[in-house]
Structure 1
Amino acid sequence: MNRNIPVFSPYDLELISEITLNSDIEVEGALNKGYALAQRLNPFPKHLRVEFLERVLSGLKQKTAGFVEMIAREGGKPVKDGHVEVQRSIEAVRTAIGALHQWHGHEVPMGFNETSSRILAFTRREPRGLVLAISAFNHPLLHVVHQVIPALAIGCPVIIKPSLKTPLTCKLFVDLLDECELPEDWCQYLLTDDGTSEKIAADPRISVLSFIGSPKVGWRLRSQAAPGVHTLLEHGGTAPVVICEDADIEAGIKGLVRGAFYHAGQVPVSVQNIFVHYNVLKQFTEQMVSATESLRVGNPLDPNTDIGPLIHPREIDRVERWIDNAIGQGAQVKLRGQRIEKTCLTPTILCEAPFSGPFYEEEIFGPAVGIYSFHELETTLTRINNSRFAFQASIYTQNLDRALRFVERVPAGAVLINESAAFRADWMPSSSLKHSGQGVRGILPSMMELSYEKLVVTKSMSLNP
């Protein structure tokens, strides 16, 4: 018997809907159908894929309001940020259409010795096969778009398994794909619990595992994947930021506040650890606190809300424990978060929290930021590099040599100069290193990850030696 799961609003905890988990028989059917399509016996030609993507682009524009409302209702993201998420999703689809012109192989030069004489060699990009995409709650549309659209664009069938906290936005998107005449079974929507998801990830019919979520789950899934399965994992990090003595604080503070508290800090690139030169510590902290205090916390459906609820009340309990732990070990409180209506938490800013506790070491995934003073940049570089995360990092300085030194020294998928570590554009590559994940995301980079280069070699006496 199939099991029903309630979907609650994270803001008022009201029941939005009930979803039904797929049965083992349904899961097996989805795997069989997806695997059959991956054999390319019934291909989805490129020109038809482009026409399909153009229809999706138009459909997303027409249905923006519905997506924004659902993102706010089931995900708790303020509507102003929901609009940004939908616009980014539209841009991602547009980018995928253009990126297909760059998704190709290349000629391999031959004729450098007698053996390779009269040889023509070239590579072509080939889709790897059936993709299992397991998505996260914090970008219930954008994550799904980034996992599904590059796959479909290059001819990989997809099984999409959304977070059970935010399955309805994903369902809206899959329904849109069907409305846009996606051939049957090319994107199959499955609702499964963790145990069943692990079984699917371990199935040899899966060619690519695409996962966005916690490191604990991501690495476990990778360890259980069948031999040869290509893995793309995005787990997040602590997004360290360095504020040097010559930084233009006034110009950067708005972006840093948004980067820290966007979606209540529940994003993988949320600014968390800010290292500030001691000569500007007071100035920076005062401006950070002042700008943060102006943020409005509350109902995500209110167009004036800046910060909505955390995804579940137990997450507030966890974030508050980490804050209390840091304060108990000597952290200075500059702004103390308070619960609002049981589901929201106003921002917290602490100074000089211990480097050995979860507030500094772990990904907080909540509206809390730590500020840490430094005298020598080298010491801060060592601290950043000792983290087990390596996703995005940034430095604010007017000194180009210092900035480039930071770029060279910090092992991160992205290093930003005079821009928040939370900055993302959907066409740029996004690499995950260390515990932050594995592989490169972004539209064209994902297309490359989801495919492989096949070498074609032919010998012909008609070729000049």
Structure 2
Amino acid sequence: MSQTLQVLQAFDRTVVSEIPMDDARTLEAKLASAARTMRDRRAWLKPHQRSGILWRTASLLEARQAHFAQLIAREGGKPLSDAAVEVIRAIDGLRNAAEELRVFAGREIPMGLTPASEGRWAFTTKEPIGVVAAISAFNHPLNLIVHQVAPAIAVGCPVIVKPAMATPLSCLDFVALLREAGLDEPWCQTFITDDNALAERLATDPRVAFLSFIGSARVGWYLRSKLAPGTRCALEHGGAAPVIVDRSAPLDRIIEPIVKGGYYHAGQVCVSTQRIFVHADVMDEFVERLAARVRSLRVGDPLLQETEVGPLITPHEANRVMSWTDEAVSAGAVIIGGGRQSETTLMPAILVEPAVDSKVSQLEIFGPVTCVYGFQELDKAIDIANSLPFAFQASVFSADIGPAMRAARRLDASTVLVNDHTAFRTDWMPFAGRRQSGYGVGGIPYSMEEMSQEKMLVLRYDG
């Protein structure tokens, strides 16, 4: 008898659903099916077929927005208003992948530049890289799946997707939409398991040509070290996103985006605003304004339309965030707000001047906590912002172009946002962690490039 997985509602830990899990035999069958599908080049889906499937899936998802928003809020704990935005992004992501196929092509390679290359015409074409293993995270249980699956379908790769065990239902229902849109099962299969050894077997099987991994750096870098020879990968981890607030920044206009960046989805976002460096001239007023807005955030059941901050994904995570906060306070940080509301929900907190060696200053919090530090010299604040072994997105708020551009040039980040929060992204822009924060480039068009390979064709002719 196969084992089952209980999927719990993030907010109150009640059972949402119970679903069957896959075992080693099922994994082998799915890998064999995907590899067989990839080998049969005559049966590869044509671009118009792939595009049509993506467009139809987008339409099906659009018709079921309310269902998916509720599902995201229940299993993942994201507030319903934000969950609705996630569904809209997923719809757009599918259309983005389909539209990208209109320009997804090789290029001509010039010949005749030397006598030896005369009489030849050369160009490249795009081919799918092979079987894709996609291992996903809980915090955007629909949109992250779309980020991994839609590019694979678009370029013609069979994909096996393993959702996070806390949030598998959005993935399962999404794959059901793909079936309804006409995609045969071997082109997109799910793999449901809580067995880490089986998940590792999926990622490291030699039949897998590309691993897409979204999750913890510890697991991602470990899996990369175990990949079969020739397997390529993209890793998306997290960071401790820094924000620079210059003395010229208009405080009445910057608090709202900073709060959104720091407390969206209870801080459970890989580019969530975490470390805020504020010029000493405006430090007191900034903290006062930030504290007033943070205290007003409505915490509670994500299914309620008015909720702004929902639960942490598990009680364990809530306990961890509380322990990190307590440690920082014990070492001298001043705390504003905070505290536990329930088993899974925490009141948003601000930590003022936590020690530089505390966990909240050194590691990704992944909870509803921001840290505020004062500075006198911009370059010193930038040096501290750049001092951690990971780097992803960063922000600078300034009304003066000089400090804004100085910070934009010197911050170690793959993206620097000027007068916007660190968690901003669109799904067609490049999205990549630096150093320990990731490997490869995300964003739907960029993932399509990563999941494809070029083939050269050289035609020799007379005359």
Question: What TM-score does the superposition give when structure 1 sets the normalisation length?
Answer: 0.97
**305, 309, 312: which one aligns with 1:310:** 312
Measure the CA separation in 2 of the matches of 1:338 and 1:305: 17
For residue 371 of structure 1, report the CA deviation from its aligned partner.
0.2
Rounded to whole Å, the distance in 1 between the matches of 2:372 and 2:103 is 42
Q: Tell me whether 1:155 sits opposite 2:156 in the alignment.
A: yes
Q: Work out the CA distance in 1 between the residues paired with 2:156 and 2:110.
A: 28
What is the one-letter code of the residue matched to 2:16? I
* Whole-Å separation in 1 of the counterparts to 2:129 and 2:366: 33
Q: Distance in 1 between matches of 2:42 and 2:389?
A: 44
1:22 corresponding residue in structure 2: 22
CA distance in 1, matches of 2:114, 2:342: 76
Q: Distance in 1 between matches of 2:232 and 2:376?
A: 43
SS at match of 2:429: coil
CA contact (8 A) 2:295 2:337 kept: no
Letter in 2 for 1:44: L
Aligned to 1:323: 325
Q: Deviations 1:382-409 (Å, cap 9, x if unpaired)?
A: 1122111111001111232332222222
Q: Tell me the distance in 1 between the aligned counterparts of 2:184 and 2:125.
A: 24
Cα deviation code 1:141-175 (max 9, x no counterpart): 00000000011011011000000100111111011
SS at match of 1:421: coil
Structure 1 residue 50 and structure 2 residue 51: aligned?
A: yes
Deviation sequence 1:227-258 (CA, Å, 0-9, x none): 11111100011111000011122212111101
- 1:247-266 alignment, distance < 5 Å: 247-266=249-268
Whole-angstrom distance in 1 between the partners of 2:462 and 2:74: 67
- Answer yes or no: is the 8 Å Cα contact 2:327–2:358 preserved in 1: yes
Give the aligned residue type for 1:337.
G
- How many Å apart are 1:347 and its aligned residue? 0.4
**1: CA distance between counterparts of 2:19 and 2:275?**
38
SS in 2 for 1:325: helix
Q: Where does structure 2 lack aligned partners over 5 or more consecutive residues?
A: none
How many pairs does the alignment contain?
Answer: 461
**AA in 1 matched with 2:5:** I
Within a 5 Å distance, the mapping from 1:76-225 to structure 2 comes to 76-192=77-193, 193-225=195-227
1: CA distance, partners of 2:416 / 2:368:
23
**Cα-to-partner distance string for 1:406-464 (whole Å, 9 max, x where unaligned):** 222222121111111111111111122111111111111110111122222222123xx
2:232 maps to which residue?
230
After superposition, the CA RMSD in angstroms is: 1.1
In 2, Cα distance between equivalents of 1:454 and 1:404: 41
Which residue identity does 1:266 align to in structure 2? Q
- 2:416 aligned residue: 415
Does 2:269 match 1:267? yes
**Partners in 2 of 1:66 and 1:31 — Cα distance?**
31
| Alignment partners' CA distance in 2, 1:121 and 1:319 | 57
Q: Which residue of structure 2 aligns with residue 440 of structure 1?
A: 441
> Which letter does structure 2 place at the counterpart of 1:239?
A
Q: Does 1:292 align with 2:284?
A: no
Query: 1:159 aligns to what SS in structure 2?
Result: strand
Q: How much has 1:5 moved relative to structure 2?
A: 2.1
Aligned to 2:7: 7
Aligned partners of 2:236, 2:185: CA distance in 1, in Å? 29
C-alpha distance in structure 2 between counterparts of 1:204 and 1:264, whole Å: 38
CA distance in 2, matches of 1:379, 1:341: 39
Answer with 395-404 or 145-154: which moved more: 395-404
Q: Counterpart of 1:387?
A: 388
User: Deviation at 1:341?
Assistant: 2.4
Q: TM-score, normalised by structure 2?
A: 0.98
1:3 is displaced (CA, Å) by: 2.1
Please give the secondary structure, in 1, of the residue aligned with 2:208: coil
